[in-house]
């Protein structure tokens, strides 16, 4: 297995094909990251009502700092304009197209993950997007330096070649989401260490998640986008309309189920 960190002599598409996840250093500049960080932090501290309701208790740090889901649909806010800009920004989009071919943008999210916040149990993104055929792809932008201490992502390289797993109940003392998937046989998790401005690109079947933020002072903010091939014939309703690289809205057929990425999934009877 090659390393998930993209080395200078390794092609992006080759590393992605082998591992289903690739880490690109320094794609955004320090100034660009600072603009994103300030805008989202000021927004959530001024008015967090646009945050997604994950049903956490009032005393949970995620109640004060809820994740923003689909902020690119809020053009009246600076965070909305920034989300839409970076969702379609050529440095991001060109790399996504290297991996998917012609691409639609499907989702924007911003996670704050303040100190002591719970993580998110291991999951596969396409369980929620339900893009078909093929899958979705995530571009996960580190807005803070992140590692094990402040709840940086854990990924399972090689898991992208497996089908979507049937989810099981998660440990909700460590995860704000209620379900998790198992690690395929013979594979293991890798703890990522990212600097602000790095981007992790990963396949919609790649198993990933994070542990709680155990630091006392460090946030683990991240700006996340999801994309699907233009060859997709259906996707869950929540992600419509999709956006072309030029920013035009597109609708395709709607697949069954799905929902905001990371939302608790209702288990089938008998599980």
pLDDT digits (tens, 9 = 90+) for 174-231: 999 989 999 999 999 999 999 999 999 999 999 999 999 999 999 999 999 999 999 9
- Specify the CATH number for the domain of residue 242: 2.60.120.620
- Is residue 105 in a domain? yes
What's the whole-model pTM score?
0.93
Q: Which residues contact 49 (CB under 8 A, 6 or more apart)?
A: none
Per the domain annotation, does 55 fall within a domain? yes
Dig out the tokens for 241 from the structure.
């309309």
Task: For residue range 51-71, list pLDDT tens digits in order.
Answer: 999 999 999 999 999 999 999
Lowest mean pLDDT among 53-57, 118-122, 139-143: 53-57
Q: Where do the DSSP E strands lie in 13-61?
A: 21-24
The DSSP secondary structure of 136-190, one letter per residue, reads -EEEEEESS-B-TTTT--EE-TTGGGSPPPPPEE--TTTBSSSEE-PPPTT---E
Question: What is the DSSP code (8-state) at residue 94?
Answer: H
Residues of the domain holding 70: 12-255
Residue 6 belongs to some domain of the structure: no
In a domain, residue 265? The reply is no
Whether residue 1 is contained in a domain is answered as no
Q: Does any domain span residue 266?
A: no
CB-CB contact of 213 with 116 (8 Å): yes
The answer to whether residue 7 is domain-embedded is: no
For residue 224, the model assigns a pLDDT of 98
List beta partners, residue 90.
none
Q: Which long-range contacts (CB under 8 A, 24 or more apart) does 76-81 make?
A: 77/43, 77/50, 78/39, 78/43, 79/39, 79/40, 79/43, 79/110
**Is 270 among the domain residues?**
no
Crossing angle (nearest 10°) for helices 12-19 and 90-100? 60
Q: How many domains does the chain have?
A: 1
User: pLDDT > 70: what percent of the chain?
Assistant: 94
> Which pLDDT belongs to residue 6?
81
Q: Are strands 234-236 and 253-255 parallel, antiparallel or unpaired?
A: parallel
């Amino acid at each position: 297995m090659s390393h998930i960190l993209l080395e200078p002599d390794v092609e992006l598409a080759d590393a992605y094909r082998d591992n289903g996840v690739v880490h690109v250093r320094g794609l955004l500049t320090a100034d660009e990251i600072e603009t994103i960080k300030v805008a989202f932090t000021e927004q959530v501290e001024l008015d967090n009502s646009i945050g997604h309701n994950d049903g956490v208790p009032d005393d949970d740090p995620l109640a004060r700092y809820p994740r923003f889901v689909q902020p690119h649909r809020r053009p009246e806010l600076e965070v909305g304009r920034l989300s839409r800009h970076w969702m379609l920004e050529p440095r991001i989009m060109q790399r996504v197209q290297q991996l998917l071919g012609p691409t639609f943008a499907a989702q924007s999210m911003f996670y704050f993950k303040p100190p002591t916040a719970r993580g998110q149990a291991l999951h596969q993104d396409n369980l929620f997007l339900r893009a078909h055929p093929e899958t979705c792809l995530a571009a996960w932008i580190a807005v803070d330096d992140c590692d094990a201490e402040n709840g940086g992502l854990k990924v399972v390289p090689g898991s992208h070649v497996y089908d979507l797993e049937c989810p099981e109940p998660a440990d909700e003392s460590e995860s704000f989401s209620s379900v998790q998937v198992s690690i395929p046989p013979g594979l293991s998790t890798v703890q990522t260490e990212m600097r602000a401005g790095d981007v992790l690109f990963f396949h919609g079947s790649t198993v990933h998640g994070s542990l709680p933020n155990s630091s006392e002072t460090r946030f683990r903010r991240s700006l996340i986008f999801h994309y699907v091939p233009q060859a997709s014939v259906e996707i869950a309703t929540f992600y419509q309309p999709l956006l072309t690289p030029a920013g035009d809205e597109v609708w395709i057929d709607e697949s069954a189920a799905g929902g905001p990425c990371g939302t608790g999934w209702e288990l089938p009877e008998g599980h």
